[in-house]
């Protein structure tokens, strides 16, 4: 249901339907901004990245088709890649922790909150199945946007080992999530 | 030919592939269930983020920038109707030099309440604005809403921005219509519907100068798109 709504909106956007882009924006503003903020730790950069994401969508620089999987996976990957580009361009101090705490909010529409919470609890459970080392790998690789080389330097381990550990961590994550779906915990 | 296979998964996820390589990897993805599943699994990682409140007016800023290359829509002036008498009001003119934040704010409101104004946003950003006049619109006796109007002259064009609040909910077909009036002859100059917070806004660009008009009024119209007013004036001001 949700997927078809997203795909439908996306198709309208590709025909330059502004209202559809606005709906897509409303739907994903909060999760994208929160995600980008988690990655960039800077409000202005998070906004810049979010804007870039929607410019890419609007101008057709990123093209989604359903054979690429879920719309959200595609959307989040585009956001993540955009944030990584910004991370690699800048090295600035991030927003103080206190400010970040003040920005935490729960006033999203109820259905968004529910959806978010469901996804969040699932992924949190899956992440808990990973070792501390694997969690660290995913954080450095996915959220901090570090290259394999940088992670190898930071963790003082060979490059090949970094790659295999990240891959193994992601594989384990996939298996955990898949297991939840099999057990019916996943309700898409 | 590069042999793009599972080994490129991490580079794909980390955005370090070239455009060609991305396309090739996505071809691989269509046939590789394991890579597909890993990609899908990472698609849930963003939900680990704690909810963070987006900055005020971010939506307006972003969408304005996203759409900024859109062509300007023509707003031909049209004819008129006799006898629209404005409610007498006080003038409240002011001048400011920075109107972009205002437009951003207006856009936000318009996005919330009225797609119409949104489509009027042009690529005029950057042109030299020469003046801003601000008016507090006076409500008629039975109307509880309030509104302000801004006339912004830029390159010989007039941009009219109206922001209103404390508006009552309307029937689906109704709309608040803004009119510019000269000697009792009105032309439509934007329209808006209230959002759930009772706010509405419109943005309209005209080819005439501000001196062409003597009154601005807002009517409650039974339907959108009227070229002449049918409903009563609920807010107005002399210009």
Pick the residue from chain A with its C-alpha nearest to B45.
A123
Pairing verdict, β B146-154 and B157-165: antiparallel
**Test the A interface: residue of B49, B71, B195 with most A CBs within 10 Å:** B49
In the prediction, which pLDDT does A95 show? 45
CA angle A53, A59, A64 (to 5 degrees): 70
Contact (CB<8Å) B118/A178: no
Element (H, E) at B28: helix B19-31
Q: Residue B71: count other Cβ atoms within 10 Å of its Cβ.
A: 7
Residues of chain A with Cβ-Cβ distance to B54 below 8 Å are 29-30, 33, 47
Of B13, B26, B51, the CB nearest to A68: B26
Residues of chain A with Cβ-Cβ distance to B46 below 8 Å are 31-32, 34-35, 38, 76, 79-80
In the prediction, which pLDDT does A162 show? 92
Q: 3-class SS at B201?
A: strand
Q: Is the pTM of this model over 0.80?
A: no
B179 falls in which pLDDT band (50, 70, 90)? confident
What percent of chain A has a predicted confidence (pLDDT) above 90? 54
pLDDT digits (tens, 9 = 90+) for B28-69: 988 898 898 899 899 999 999 988 988 878 999 999 999 885
* Phi-psi region at A9: left, alpha or beta (left = phi > 0; alpha = psi -120 to 50): alpha
**Test the B interface: residue of A53, A57, A68 with most B CBs within 10 Å:** A68
Contact (CB<8Å) B46/A76: yes
Residues of chain A falling short of pLDDT 50:
1-3, 92-104, 185-188
Please tell me the distance from the alpha carbon of residue A160 to that of residue A152, in angstroms, as a whole number. Answer: 9
Q: CA–CA distance from A83 to each of A51, A63, A154, B202 (Å)? A: 11, 18, 21, 34
pLDDT digits (tens, 9 = 90+) for A28-78: 999 999 999 999 999 999 999 999 999 999 998 878 888 778 899 999 999
């Amino acid at each position: 249901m949700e997927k078809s709504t997203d795909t439908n909106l996306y198709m309208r956007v590709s025909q330059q339907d502004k209202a559809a882009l606005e709906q897509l924006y409303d739907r994903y503003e909060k999760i994208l901004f929160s995600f980008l903020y988690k990655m960039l730790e800077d409000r202005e950069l998070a906004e810049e990245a979010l804007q870039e994401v929607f410019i890419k969508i609007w101008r057709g620089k990123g093209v989604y088709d359903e054979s690429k999987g879920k719309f959200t996976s595609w959307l989040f990957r585009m956001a993540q890649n955009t944030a990584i580009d910004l991370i690699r361009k800048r090295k600035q101090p991030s927003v103080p922790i206190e400010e970040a705490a003040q920005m935490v909010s729960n006033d999203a529409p109820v259905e968004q909150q529910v959806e978010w919470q469901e996804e969040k609890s699932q992924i949190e459970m899956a992440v808990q199945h990973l070792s501390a080392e694997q969690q660290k790998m995913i954080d450095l690789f996915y959220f901090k946007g570090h290259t394999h080389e940088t992670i190898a330097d930071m963790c003082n381990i060979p490059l090949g080992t970094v790659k295999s550990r990240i891959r193994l961590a992601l594989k384990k994550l996939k298996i955990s999530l898949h297991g939840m779906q099999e057990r019916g915990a996943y309700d898409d | 030919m590069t042999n793009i296979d599972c080994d490129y998964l991490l580079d794909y996820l980390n955005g370090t592939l070239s455009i060609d390589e991305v396309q090739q990897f996505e071809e691989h993805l269509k046939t590789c269930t394991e890579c597909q599943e890993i990609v899908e699994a990472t698609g849930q990682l963003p939900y680990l983020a704690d909810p963070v409140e987006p900055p005020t007016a971010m939506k307006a800023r972003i969408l304005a920038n996203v759409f900024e290359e859109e062509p300007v829509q023509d707003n031909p002036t049209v004819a008129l109707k006799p006898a629209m008498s404005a409610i007498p009001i006080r003038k409240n003119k002011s001048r400011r030099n920075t109107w972009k934040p205002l437009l951003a704010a207006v856009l936000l409101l318009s996005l919330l309440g009225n797609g119409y104004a949104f489509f009027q946003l042009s690529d005029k950003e950057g042109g030299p604005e020469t003046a801003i006049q601000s008016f507090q619109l006076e409500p008629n006796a039975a109307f509880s809403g309030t509104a302000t109007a801004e006339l912004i002259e830029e390159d010989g064009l007039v941009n009219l921005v109206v922001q209103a609040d404390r508006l009552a909910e309307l029937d689906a077909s109704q709309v608040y219509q803004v009119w510019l009036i000269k000697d009792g002859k009105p032309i439509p100059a934007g329209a808006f519907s209230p959002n759930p917070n009772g706010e509405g806004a419109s943005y309209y660009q005209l080819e005439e100068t501000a001196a062409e008009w003597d009154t601005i009024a807002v009517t409650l119209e039974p339907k959108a798109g009227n070229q002449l007013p049918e409903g009563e004036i609920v807010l107005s001001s002399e210009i």
